[in-house]
A and B are shown apart, each in its own frame.
Chain A
Amino acid sequence: MNQQALIAILLLSPLIGFFLNGVRFRSTNYVLAGSIATIAVLISFICSVLLFLNLVDLPPEARRITANFFEWIAVDKFKINAGFAVDQISSIMILIITGVGALIHLFSIGYMHHDKGVTKYFAYLNLFIFNMLILVLGDSLLTMFVGWEGVGLCSYLLIGFWFNDSAKAAAGMKAFITNRIGDAAFIIGMFILFMTFGTLNMHELNMLAPTIAESSWLGAVTLGTMMLFIGATGKSAQIPLYVWLPDAMAGPTPVSALIHAATMVTAGIYMIVRLNGLFIVAPNTMMVIAIVGAATAVMAATIGLTQFDIKKVLAYSTVSQLGYMFLAVGVGAFGAGMFHLMTHAFFKALMFLGSGSVIHAMHEEQDIRKMGGLRKYLPITHATFFLGWLAIIGMPPFAGFFSKDEILWKAFSSSQGHILLWAAGVLGAVLTAFYMTRLMALTFWGKSRVDKSVHPHESPWLMTVPLIVLAILSVVGGWVGIPHVISEQIGHIPNFWEHWLEPVIRKLPTVVEGAHHDETMLEWSLMGISVGLAAISALTAYIMYTKKEGASDKVAKAFGPVYQLVNKKYLVDEAYSAGIINPLIEGSKNLWYYVDVNVIDKATYKVTDLVRGGGSFVKSLQTGNMQQYAMYIGIGVVVALSFVLMR
């Protein structure tokens, strides 16, 4: 089968699934709806695997399969094709999207079977997969933007899936509007790049990027990439636009796993990695990205310490991990960013699905204070969650360790890196270890605080199979990118990941000078510091939340106001309300009262009065009196005749 056809099937299969489920959205037959949706994504996954194998067969420099389906926009020099490209980066993404997506679809059949809108739900999920594939495969920024907006729409629809609850509908709107701010910046970025380079094709942009780094803050590349990055902060939930992601947990849990952990929120990182040739020549943008990433990683992790909603904890964890990825791409470690993106997709999807399983078992209870001791009721969920926990806190040899360590090492050693960035990363890792252990301890370990009326039960196989698969991936997923220092010790396993991405990723030089031996020692010691601190932190949390009752409350009391501030999420939402939203609303109200009512309304009323006056005059002519009509005819004849005669 030729490769363009494969790409077409890959893209169209979820779309067809969307239409099949979309036209019968009132149906409550969850088996049929779920099967259609899952099979559609499964077909896409098979296509992805075939495409990946095709790529492997090609020589490393020529690993790029393109498909131009039609010319989409052609205005003078502005030409955009509906073109899609599978290369080293996007092939990984489509594997993650369709693979993890298929597992989550399978999980959803079990999770959503009692819901009335189940067919609509699966239609949305398929539409999301379709849009995500467009985002990932689009070979120009504009094609990518179509998917970018499409996934935003699906995210909105799925967050507000239970729209009868006005808080959930509001969460959907918050996500959508926050994303709009980022999208506006994204569009401006596209304008700037098109003005500068005359193309929006990402491959060409990488080729055209100047060879010498741009040092000014207002250079075209710096401005353009900065705008794209602001767009990425919207989609990928970074400071200052991260506020929507915790609220987005209002949606069904599999949605949180698929959209708000594994795929959509990583679109920003993916975009930056795709344009690495462009970003790398804008060191100022890179610096901003790294700082924002590090700050987000730490801040979100601290908020995660204080939350009691199981999904909120995971949401802040996601924000924090996304911060890691931005830190990675900000210091020029694009490969490490992608690596963490993949491992994070595995273990975070696993943890969200695990939390979904818990919530399902607890009959929609999400507060971890009302859980505890669930290990004996949910053995499979607990076992898989446990593996995910080890992965996320970065214990070797689980997936998270390799990717996180790679990021930390690059943050320290890269020419864009700094010891403070590294320190922030380690702090984030320590905090992550703490709040994740806290989550494990409060949910699964210790004494049961479950309400007497609730009888937790293990989920059906439809839900546990995806958990098991993802747990395996969380364990082995990191082994494709084992760093040199370790592989040297255990027998020269090549770093597949770096090797694979090498042709499409530009690298920054490592600045730690000196002998090879010193560098190895340094890397080993840094690795030891971060893992050791994380382990200590996890142990502390374990003792605090399982062995010593009330210890956590004492700590919370000791910190007092600080704890309150963190618990209230640094009052960021309130600050946005007070600083931006309320002034906007007040300003709009003033505009309404003074400008709209007094000027615009009056002007339009004048016009309508004029029209109405004219109308009522004409209406007075239509009396229904036929003799009057006859008179008008007579007058008309008189006028016409006199005109003819006088001529």
Chain B
Amino acid sequence: MPETNMITTIGAEHYLVLSAILFSIGMAGVLLRRNLIVLLMSIELMLNAVNISFVTFSYYSGKVEGQIMVFFVMTIAAAEAAVGLALAVSIFKRFKEVNIRFFEHLKG
């Protein structure tokens, strides 16, 4: 496959690679950031990356189930954000900061 095709012809792999890159960025954020809220945002990034791949597969396979899955993911993401932020609030109430390291107290 000539190299020009890679740039001029957009296929499923382009979207999937974009999804992978976005997922990796999100994952790096989860692993490296200390602020709990930024961490939650990074998780949203990862979920969005997954959504992109779902929609891509749905589009290229001509089936609508992939998009249904995206609905579900979005709902879960909203729920997860709500609980995560509630946890962040309680951590903040207790320690006046939202650093991830305060969760170490949960180790028991």
Please report A residues at the B interface, Cβ cutoff 8 Å.
622-627, 630-631, 634
In-complex Cβ contact of A624 among B27, B30, B107 (8 A): B107
Determine if B103 and A626 form an interchain contact, defined as CB atoms under 8 angstroms apart. Answer: yes
Determine if B104 and A631 form an interchain contact, defined as CB atoms under 8 angstroms apart. Answer: no
B103 closest partner in A (C-beta)? A626
Interface assignment of B106: CB less than 8 Å from any CB of chain A: yes
- What are 17 A-B pairs at a CB distance below 8 A? A623-B104, A623-B107, A624-B103, A624-B104, A624-B105, A624-B106, A624-B107, A625-B100, A625-B101, A625-B104, A626-B103, A626-B104, A627-B30, A627-B32, A627-B100, A630-B31, A631-B31
Which of chain A's residues have a CB closer than 8 A to the CB of B27?
634
Which of chain A's residues have a CB closer than 8 A to the CB of B30?
627, 630
Q: A627 CA to B107 CA in the complex, in Å? A: 13
Task: Report the minimum CB–CB distance from B102 to chain A (whole Å).
Answer: 10
Task: Compute the total of residue contacts between A and B using a CB distance below 8 Å.
Answer: 23
By size class, the interface of chain B is 10 to 19
Determine if A622 and B107 form an interchain contact, defined as CB atoms under 8 angstroms apart. Answer: yes
Which of chain A's residues have a CB closer than 8 A to the CB of B103?
624, 626
Task: Report the minimum CB–CB distance from B43 to chain A (whole Å).
Answer: 10
Which of chain A's residues have a CB closer than 8 A to the CB of B106?
624
Task: Report the minimum CB–CB distance from A319 to chain B (whole Å).
Answer: 65
Q: A625 CA to B31 CA in the complex, in Å? A: 10
Q: A631 CA to B27 CA in the complex, in Å? A: 9
Which of chain A's residues have a CB closer than 8 A to the CB of B104?
623-626
Q: A191 CA to B30 CA in the complex, in Å? A: 73
Interface residues of B in 9-27 (CB under 8 A from A): 27
Q: A624 CA to B104 CA in the complex, in Å? A: 4
Known: A623-B107, A624-B106. A634 touches B101 (CB 8 A): no
Residue-wise interface mask of B (75-103) relative to A, using a CB-CB cutoff of 8 A (1 in contact, 0 not): 00000000000000000000000001101
Task: Report the minimum CB–CB distance from A252 to chain B (whole Å).
Answer: 54
Task: Report the minimum CB–CB distance from B95 to chain A (whole Å).
Answer: 14
B36 closest partner in A (C-beta)? A626
A627 closest partner in B (C-beta)? B31
Q: A634 CA to B28 CA in the complex, in Å? A: 10
Q: A624 CA to B103 CA in the complex, in Å? A: 7
Task: Report the minimum CB–CB distance from A129 to chain B (whole Å).
Answer: 56
Task: Report the minimum CB–CB distance from A133 to chain B (whole Å).
Answer: 57
A637 closest partner in B (C-beta)? B27
A628 closest partner in B (C-beta)? B31
Q: A627 CA to B105 CA in the complex, in Å? A: 14
Which of chain A's residues have a CB closer than 8 A to the CB of B105?
624
Which of chain B's residues have a CB closer than 8 A to the CB of A634?
27, 31
